Structure 1
Amino acid sequence: MSLTALIDRAFTPAAESVRAGNIPGAVLGIVTADGERAVQWTGYAQIEPERELVSRETWFDLASLTKVIFTTTRILQLVEAGRIALDDPLVTVIPDLRQYDMNAAERRLTFRQCLAHQTHLPAVEPLYTYGQDPNTLRAFILQRVWQSGPPVYSDINFMLLGIAIERITGQALIDQPLPERFSFRPDPKLCAATEKDTWRGRVVRGEVHDENAFALGGASGHAGLFGTIDGVLDFAHSLLDGSALSPVSIKAIRTRESEKRTVGWEGFHPGWHGGDSCSPDTIGHTGFTGTGLWVDFERGLAWSLLTNRVHPSRHKDSGILSLRRATGDQVIALFDRTERL
């Protein structure tokens, strides 16, 4: 079975979800370690205010895939360049973090802890409700007395990492250089629409869906990156062939820092979003808008499912978790069958 025939069958759950009206559109891409790839798509990039078809060239708001494709990768590249070490505290580059309390817990947080979500910081905070001046909001993030709690998956961790990247490079995140087919400033006409947002009073298209990232200027360490399916597959292939990062960094993103987390990524565990057929040596991540990427190093296989499941509203059951799991199980079952032929 060719990869093209494989993806036609693996795409069945997504095509059925679009036909049922659960999601407007979907694009599935698969890539192998030797560079072979296939892409399939169906549905709409936008249904309100006008219907527009999705295509292979549609740009998606990648949401929290920003955390792994951009932020984690950039931090590890800075480690490789000797600018920082993973176990350095953030205050080595953000000395004004909680600057009015030298004993504050935030001043002891390390890059590794933030990347692996092993901090006391909360999952999320509605920062956008405090105003829309990016510099003031950054200052608020740095000086806020954050409520302490057990380690959770936290956007705040990656907001801090984004600020660290800005301090080290001297360049705002929205102006950072990016690989081809990625952007913090995409052409709205090329993008899949996300939510009809009551806060902004419009259908969001070509601007980041995440309210906090929008208020922070359009790009943050946790969200803001846009990309096409081929951009995401290019990135996945660069992890599989080792060209994106050094062997030490690749090992870091594949090694558990906790039961479910590696440096930046989530590792395979029963019941996770990538399906139960993944090898133990699989990492993945999802985005709130309906995006996802999984990399199975043991098989030399990666796949990405991009949807605009929050369009026109997040307040519905899109069935995205079951769709992601069904897609992953289909991809792997068909790939394994192909390998045995």
Structure 2
Amino acid sequence: MSSAQAVLDRAFAPLQAAVEAKRIPGGILGVIDADGQRATRVIGSAQIVPAQRPMAEDTWFDLASLTKVIFTTQRILALAEAGSLDLDAPLISAIPDFRQYDPNAWERKVTFRQCLGHETPFPGVFPLYTYGSDANRLRAFVLQHEWPSGPPVYSDINFILLGIALERLEGRAIRQMDPGRGFAWSADPAQAAATEFDSWRNRVVVGEVHDENCFALQGSGHAGLFGTVRSVLDFAQGLLAGQGASALIRTPVSDRRTHGWERSHDGWSGGDNCSPETIGHTGFTGTGLWIDFARGSAWTLLTNRVHPTRHFDSGIVALRRAVGDLINQG
């Protein structure tokens, strides 16, 4: 039995318990060990409302904020390494009309690096989708709104702006860009894990992006990517092998963050047993990916914890930490 299989055997128990307790409909845990061996295990249902479908190895997940690290961060850092942008330049170098009616606006000084590290004064959340249904008008709103300034927090606005910068630099909409091998911007509903019954869209969301702002923007840098456990593990294995892995994804910008990623710290989603060389990220729909460069290992926990509603304590925070602790036990 591979060490990956042994790790999976002990780390699967918290996910199994969560599904059996009906806190989460279903999920998949996938691990990569230091020898590059993989193991995955599936449990529960991909959908329970209005009809039940089993979770499968090839189920597609709305990866939510994993989009930030798998797609947007990779693309921004690649452009920086190619000399197409300066990470310490303000966003207006790519978006000159950002807050164009106030030359002294603080927003015009925000840099790419600050957005990648969530070191900006933007608010943590903002319901853009309630301001209209025209994607171009909503982009204009993002760029011209006088944003309240507060202490740095994790904010989708950072990556919505990075997505707009990508669109300007590449001359096409995000959904016209290649999402990467094994990834997509939507999925066949018959093969996708369902997310929430959305009262705004008045339907169970499945195969289309759950995030309301991304849906209204018709593609964004902060959410929208779909993938399978295989594609997420392929991506992680590539980073471990140094393929397309900028050193900046491991370079701190604060005590909790690198460029795009979260880094190992007390109380974080990866648990307490990670090496200091571990980075990770989570997604609101119940997804997550963690990569330990010191051990040469990685794991992904993909769930549909918001199905059929986010307004329920799924225990996802404790579940992620419990899985991480068991994976890195001993």
CA displacement, residues 130-170 of structure 1 (integer Å, 9 cap, x when unaligned): 11110000000000100000100000000000000111111
**Whole-angstrom distance in 2 between the partners of 1:224 and 1:26:** 19
**Structure 1 stretches (4+) deviating beyond 3 angstroms?**
none
Contact 2:113 2:259 in 1 (8 A): yes
Deviation (angstroms), 1:34: 4.3
Matching of residue 311 in structure 1 with residue 307 in structure 2? yes
Contact 2:33 2:297 in 1 (8 A): yes
How do residues 260-271 of structure 1 correspond to structure 2 at under 5 angstroms?
Answer: 260-271=256-267
Deviation (angstroms), 1:26: 0.7
**Whole-angstrom distance in 1 between the partners of 2:105 and 2:35:** 48
Deviation (angstroms), 1:201: 0.4
**Whole-angstrom distance in 1 between the partners of 2:125 and 2:174:** 20
Deviation (angstroms), 1:5: 3.2
How do residues 302-341 of structure 1 correspond to structure 2 at under 5 angstroms?
Answer: 302-333=298-329, 336=330
Contact 1:33 1:240 in 2 (8 A): no
**Whole-angstrom distance in 1 between the partners of 2:217 and 2:35:** 39
- What corresponds to 1:107 in structure 2? 108
How do residues 1-341 of structure 1 correspond to structure 2 at under 5 angstroms?
Answer: 2=2, 3-32=4-33, 34-217=35-218, 219-245=219-245, 249-250=246-247, 252-333=248-329, 336=330
Deviation (angstroms), 1:60: 0.4
**Whole-angstrom distance in 1 between the partners of 2:17 and 2:186:** 32
Deviation (angstroms), 1:238: 1.1
Contact 2:189 2:206 in 1 (8 A): yes
**Whole-angstrom distance in 1 between the partners of 2:208 and 2:179:** 17
Deviation (angstroms), 1:32: 3.4
**Whole-angstrom distance in 2 between the partners of 1:312 and 1:185:** 19
Deviation (angstroms), 1:254: 1.0
Deviation (angstroms), 1:33: 5.2
Identical positions, percent: 62
- What corresponds to 1:339 in structure 2? none
CA displacement, residues 66-95 of structure 1 (integer Å, 9 cap, x when unaligned): 111111011011112211021111111100
Give the residue type in structure 2 aligned to 1:14: L
**Whole-angstrom distance in 2 between the partners of 1:190 and 1:133:** 29
**Whole-angstrom distance in 2 between the partners of 1:331 and 1:8:** 9
Contact 1:32 1:237 in 2 (8 A): no
Contact 1:64 1:286 in 2 (8 A): yes
CA RMSD of aligned residues (A): 1.0
CA displacement, residues 263-321 of structure 1 (integer Å, 9 cap, x when unaligned): 10111111111100001111110000000000111110110000000000000000001
1:138/1:33 Cα in 2 relative to 1: closer, same or farther (>3 Å)? farther
CA displacement, residues 78-137 of structure 1 (integer Å, 9 cap, x when unaligned): 112211021111111100000111111111111000000000111111010111110000
Give the residue type in structure 2 aligned to 1:83: S
> Larger deviation: 232-241 or 302-311?
232-241
Aligned residue-pair number: 329
**Whole-angstrom distance in 2 between the partners of 1:189 and 1:163:** 31
Deviation (angstroms), 1:253: 1.3
Gap regions ≥5 residues in structure 2? none
**Whole-angstrom distance in 2 between the partners of 1:5 and 1:112:** 39
> Larger deviation: 79-88 or 21-30?
79-88
Gap regions ≥5 residues in structure 1? 337-341
Secondary structure at 1:283 match in 2: strand
Normalising by structure 2, report the TM-score: 0.98
